[in-house]
Amino acid sequence: MRNLDENTITDAVLARHANATDARLKDIVTSLVRHLHAFAREVNLTEAEWEAGIRFLTEVGHMTDARRQEFILLSDTLGLSMLVTAMAHRKPEGCTEATVFGPFFVDDAPAYDNGGDVANGAQGEPCFVSGVVRGSRGEPVAGARIEVWQADAAGFYDVQYSDVENHRARGVLHSLPDGRYHFRSIVAEPYPIPHDGPVGRMLDALGRHPWRPAHLHFMITAPGYERLVTHVFREGDRYLDSDAVFGVRSSLIAPWHHHASGTAPDGTVMATPFSTLEFDFVLNRSS
C-alpha cells in the first residue's frame, strides 16, 4: 500500500495483522497499535520527542541486567504493574490482597527452618515475624512454601551489593502443620527505588519522589490454592499514601511492635531492643 498519510496509516498497519495465527497476540498488538497511534495524534508528537522516547527506552534496556530490572521499575512507577496485578488477582472478600512483585526477587534464596534468622547478617534492628497461613474457609494450610525478602536498614537488597556473596534478608520456609510460621529478620525501613538511571530521571522530571514505604515481600504457594504475591507494610510510614509504585493496600498495613531488650517470642534473650510483627495470610482456593 502506497501514499499513506497520517489519516490512513493506522488502518494499513492493522491490515498487516490479518494472517496472524495467534488470535490473542493479534488482539493485543492491534490494540497496542491503535492506542499508540491515537496517543501520537492526541499529543501531536514531534520527531524530536519521538527520538527522545526511543533514547529513553534504549537507556532503560542498557540499565537492565541480572542485578537490576529497569523495565520493571518503569512499569512499576507508571502504575502498570499494579494495574495488571489488580486485574489478574481479583479475590473473594477475606483473602489477602496481592500487590506488585518488584524487581528484586531471586530464584535461589536459601532455605530455613521455622525460627531461622533469614537476615543472615543484614543490617537492621532484629525483628521476629510470625503468623498463620489459612485458606479462605479458615482451614490452616500446612506445608505452604513461604518466600520472604526485604531491604536492609540502608535501603538496599542483597543483590544490589557487588561485594555480598551470600543472600541476606531473604529466605524460604514452610508453614507448620497448624499453618503457623515464624522467623527472625530485621525491621523493614522505607527506601527509594533505584533512581540513578533513566526511570529516576523520569521521576525527577515529573516532580515525583522515588520512595517506597517500609515493607516485607512475601510469595506463598500451596497445592490447591492460588499463588499469593504480596507485601506487608509498616504502619505509620510516611510514604504509605505516596508509594512510588502504587502498591499499598490498607489490608496489608500492620503494626511493628517495638520492645526493649529482654526475651523475644522464640525465647531468645535479646541484649538489644527488637521488634515483632504478626500477620496472617488467607489464600484463595484454586478454581
Same domain, 183 and 231: yes
Q: CB of 98 within 8 A of CB of 229?
A: yes
Same domain, 94 and 182: yes
Same domain, 48 and 96: no
Same domain, 81 and 49: no
Instruction: Enter the pTM of the model.
Output: 0.91
What is the C-alpha to C-alpha distance for residues 265 and 192, in angstroms, rounded to an integer? 31
Instruction: Give just the sign of the alpha carbon dihedral 34, 41, 57, 248.
Output: negative
Question: Does residue 271 form part of some domain?
Answer: yes
Same domain, 142 and 43: no
Question: Does residue 239 form part of some domain?
Answer: yes
Same domain, 27 and 146: no
Taking the CA atoms of residue 282, residue 284, residue 285 and residue 287 in that order, the dihedral angle to the nearest 10 degrees is 180
Per-residue pLDDT tens, the chain, 287 aa: give them. 678 999 999 999 999 999 999 999 999 999 999 999 999 999 999 999 999 999 999 999 999 988 789 999 999 999 999 999 999 999 999 999 999 998 889 998 999 999 999 999 999 999 999 999 999 999 999 999 999 999 999 999 998 888 777 899 999 999 999 999 999 999 999 999 999 999 999 999 999 999 999 999 999 999 999 999 999 999 999 999 999 999 999 999 999 999 999 999 999 999 999 999 999 999 999 97
* SS3 call for 261: coil
Give the CATH number for residue 78.
2.60.130.10
Residue whose C-alpha is closest to residue 226's, from 158, 141, 149, 165: 141
Cell of 150: 526485604
Question: Does residue 1 form part of some domain?
Answer: no
Sort 275 into a burial class: Cβ within 10 Å, 0-12 / 13-18 / 19+: buried
Same domain, 181 and 228: yes
What is the C-alpha to C-alpha distance for residues 15 and 30, in angstroms, rounded to an integer? 9
Same domain, 90 and 231: yes
* SS3 call for 181: strand
Same domain, 273 and 139: yes
What is the C-alpha to C-alpha distance for residues 169 and 201, in angstroms, rounded to an integer? 29
Q: Give residue 19's domain range.
A: 9-65
Strand locations in the chain (E): 126-135, 145-149, 170-174, 180-186, 191-192, 211-212, 215-221, 228-234, 253-254, 257-259, 262-263, 269-270, 274-278, 281-283
Query: Identity (one letter) of the amino acid at 155?
Result: G
